[in-house]
Structure 1
Amino acid sequence: MTRLLIVTADDLGLTRGVNAAVRRAHEDGVVTATSLLAVGQAFDDAVAMVRDLPALELGAHLALVGEDPPLLSAREVPTLVDRRGAFPLSYRAVVLRGLAGRIDPDDVRRELGAQLDRVLGAGVPVTHVDTHQHTHLWPTVGAVVAELAAASGVPAVRAPGSHGHGPVGLGVRVLARRSRSTLRAAGRATTADYAGLDEAGRLDTVRFRRTLAEAARRGAPTLEVNCHPAVAGDPDLRRFTWGYRWADELAMLVDPQVRESIASAGFTLGGFADLDRYGAA
């Protein structure tokens, strides 16, 4: 029996170049879903695009970190921002604040609720929720994300994980187990397996094939792989210092050999709406 593969392009709305890359990766490649960044500078352009692509599943990419500002003011969400009203740049700040007990779940609920409402307002069915830099792995954030998804009727939430070695991989796996329990308790569907955190920004053709082969050996019935395509030379990406090879990921996603590799590994492309047929985790 074939297994379900969902290929999700994250950061839709980050720049117009990212939007154009997601469109091409869907129309000419293997991307079946995307996640829209409500705080992104190219949000309106992204909304116009997804309305024109009914086969591309839309998710909400909720942010508590990053270079783009929150939707709410510092006065409304004081534990999430600095005095300028800016998010921290890295998920590490969320972890440190969480460990210190300095994240107010009500602040998280207000900001992420506003972001989810903005994506829902696009007028396109929203099939899933995930977070920028996977901050919903942190239990306080994850509980709010599951709650918001359930209250809004969004059926699925990403369950990130790691198959890497070392302390980061171990920490992610510990948090991921708790995250999956939270999602089950909230009645939200997710895939049984996941890849993309370990490979973020470096998912070229060779690594994608290796990722598929490793997932096939694990044998889970459903797999999400998230990626980060962008067009080469996008000037609006210069402000980001992530070191991502955005254009390499786009080239991989439209490579005809990748589609052949997916079939050879025993996967069928689909979306979060197909989870019920394959047995959602």
Structure 2
Amino acid sequence: MKKLIINADDFGYSRGINFGIVDAHQLGVLTSTTFMTNMPGADHAAELSKQHQELGVGIHLVLTCGKPLLNQHKTIVDSNGYFRKVDFYKGAFTIDYEEVYQEWKAQIEKFLSYGLIPTHLDSHHHTNSFGDIPNIFIKLAKEYDLPVRNNMVPKYSRILQEEGVKTTDSFLYVLESSIKDNQTLDQIFEGNHSVEVMSHPGYLDKEILSGSSFSYPRVDELELLMSEKIIELFRNRNDIQLSTFKDI
């Protein structure tokens, strides 16, 4: 059986995002999400996670949004104590990687403090794939014995395999073109047994409209994930199991 994980990033960003993700799961085909423990909607997301235990919930490690959980950082924050923007990490950059390790470990520990069991690790804005950060990411995955998103260059994909860190065979960035119809589903599983597709569903509230450059497409993705056409598409595919990272 082929396994498809449809994951929603940004759980915990805000109440609007949280409710959108839960609706995409309850009323649509969303199977998985990843949790931002440093954002204003984190406590609300934790409550929803406990209410909807069939939704796989991993940890969305954050380095480029909001404030860190720890306050001693020097190189991964700006002068006001906020995380640096993702543009800082595009191209050459210099940071203390120990700060990344300690911050991300704190984010994982906060998730665990809610009494939740994580399904996997990924990161906001794919920062786990920048510079030497993949080494930190893999170290934490091994430390907590968690699967990870398969979004790194082949060098690190090989290391994942060598270190026994689980991941999917393939990872796709664009929701609509991945689950559009039977033809696209057949294409994404060519040579693959397990596939993750990333999504960002949500309802728009002030936190998103004022804080995120990615806003209105979230509503479109939510509509797609809950559309009868897509639900029927998967209902008729006996060869594809809608899965979470616990299933790989």
Q: Same fold (TM over 0.5)?
A: yes
CA pair 259-266 structure 1, distance change in 2 beyond 3 A = farther
From 172, 178, 181, give the equivalent of 1:195. Answer: 172
Q: Give the CA deviation at 1:89.
A: 2.2
RMSD (CA atoms): 1.9
Specify the alignment match of 1:268 in structure 2. 241
* Residue 223 of structure 1: aligned partner: 195
Supply the distance in 2 between the matched residues of 1:72 and 1:93 (Cα, whole angstroms).
Answer: 20
Q: Distance in 2 between matches of 1:27 and 1:187?
A: 33
Q: Compute the displacement of 1:243 (Å).
A: 5.0
Query: How far apart are the structure 2 equivalents of 1:78 and 1:184?
Result: 33
CA contact (8 A) 1:36 1:59 kept: yes
Shift of 1:180: 1.1
Equivalent residue in structure 2 for 1:152, among 144, 154, 174: 144
Q: Identify the match of residue 161 of structure 2 among 181, 184, 202.
A: 184
TM-score if structure 1 supplies the norm length?
0.81
1:141 maps to 133
Q: Distance in 1 between matches of 2:226 and 2:207?
A: 22
Aligned to 1:214: 187
Partner of 1:257: 229
For residues 207 and 235 of structure 1, the distance between their equivalents in structure 2, rounded to whole angstroms, comes to: 30
| In structure 1, distance between residues paired with 2:73 and 2:161 | 28
Give unpaired runs (5+ residues) of structure 2. Answer: none
Find the partner of 2:83 among 84, 87, 90.
Answer: 87
Which residue is 1:8 aligned to? 7
Pairwise CA distance, 1:124? 1.6
TM-score, scaled relative to structure 2: 0.91
The code of the aligned residue for 2:180 comes to R
Correspondences of 1:231-250 after superposition (within 5 Å): 231=203, 233-239=204-210, 240-250=212-222
- 1:213 touches 1:265 (CA, 8 Å); kept in 2? no
- The Cα of 1:220 is off from its aligned counterpart by 0.6
Q: Which residue of 2 aligns with 1:112?
A: 104
Q: Deviations over 1:188-243 (max 9, x none)?
A: 100001112xx2xxx44x66316534303x33110001100112x42321112235
| Structure 1 position 108, deviation (Å) | 0.8
2: CA distance, partners of 1:244 / 1:151:
37
Residue deviations 1:108-156, cap 9 Å, x none? Answer: 11111111111122212111000001111125211111111211232x0
Count of aligned residue pairs for this structure pair: 244
Compared with structure 1, are the counterparts of its residues 69 and 265 closer, same or farther at alpha carbon in structure 2 (3 Å cutoff)?
A: farther
Deviation digits for residues 8-55 of structure 1, max 9, x if unmatched?
Answer: 111000010111011111111111111000111100000000011111
Distance 1:185 1:84, change over 3 A: farther
Question: Could you say what secondary structure the match of 1:107 adopts?
Answer: helix
Cα pair 1:9 1:34 within 8 Å, conserved: yes
Query: Gapped runs of 5+ residues in structure 1?
Result: 161-174, 276-281
* Letter matched to residue 69 of structure 2: L
AA matched with 2:104:
L
Structure 2 match to 1:279: none
Q: Which amino acid aligns with 2:188?
A: A
Runs of 4+ in structure 1 off by over 6 angstroms are none
Structure with more contact order per residue of length (Cα contacts < 8 Å, sep ≥ 6): 2
Amino acid at match of 2:245: F
2:12/2:18 contact within 8 Å kept: yes
| In structure 2, C-alpha distance between the alignment counterparts of 1:219 and 1:261, rounded to whole Å | 21
Match of 1:125 among 102, 111, 117: 117
Distance 1:244 1:132 in 2: 18
Taking the aligned partners of 2:12 and 2:163, their CA distance within structure 1 comes to 28
Distance in 2, Cα, partners of 1:242 & 1:267:
30
